[in-house]
Amino acid sequence: MFATEGTALVIEIIIGIATILAGFSAAVKWLVKHYLSELKTNGGSSMRDEIKQIKERQDEADQMRRDMNSKLDKMYIILLDHVSKNKD
């Protein structure tokens, strides 16, 4: 026989470590694939799509708020003009 008990033990340890590392790397690969799929757009059901929709709604709300503030400022100026004209 070519292998002694010491070399057989070393080979078994190396194979055991390689098996554990292969299992760990397969698990990491699966996790990365699963989570990266959530970050790609797929027509509406991924996290990225949801975040994009929320951002678009927030941008619309910000624009509406700016428009409303502008209208209120104009109304305030008109009111001040009306009050100043009626004082005289």
pLDDT at 2 over 70: no
Q: Mark whether 55 and 80 lie in a shared domain.
A: yes
Tokens at 69, concatenated? 């503030």
Statement to judge: residues 49 and 84 lie in one domain: yes
Residue of 39 and 2 predicted with greater confidence: 39
- Residue 75 has which token pair? 């109304």
Do 49 and 12 lie in one domain? The reply is no
Identify whether residues 11 and 30 lie together within a single domain: yes
Give yes or no: residues 35 and 13 share one domain: yes
Q: How many domains does the chain have?
A: 2
- Shared domain for 28 and 67, answered yes or no, is no
Give the domain range for residue 68: 44-88
What pLDDT score was predicted for residue 1?
47
Verify that 80 and 61 share a domain, yes or no: yes
What is the four-CA torsion angle of 63, 68, 74, 80, rounded to 10 degrees? -150
Kindly report, residue by residue over 10-62, the tens digit of the pLDDT: 889 999 999 999 999 999 999 888 887 777 767 767 788 888 899 999 999 99
Return the minimum-mean-pLDDT range out of 26-30, 49-53, 71-75, 78-82: 49-53
Q: Are residues 79 and 65 in the same domain?
A: yes
- pTM of full prediction above 0.75: no
Percent of residues in the chain assigned helix, strand, coil, to nearest 5: 85, 0, 15
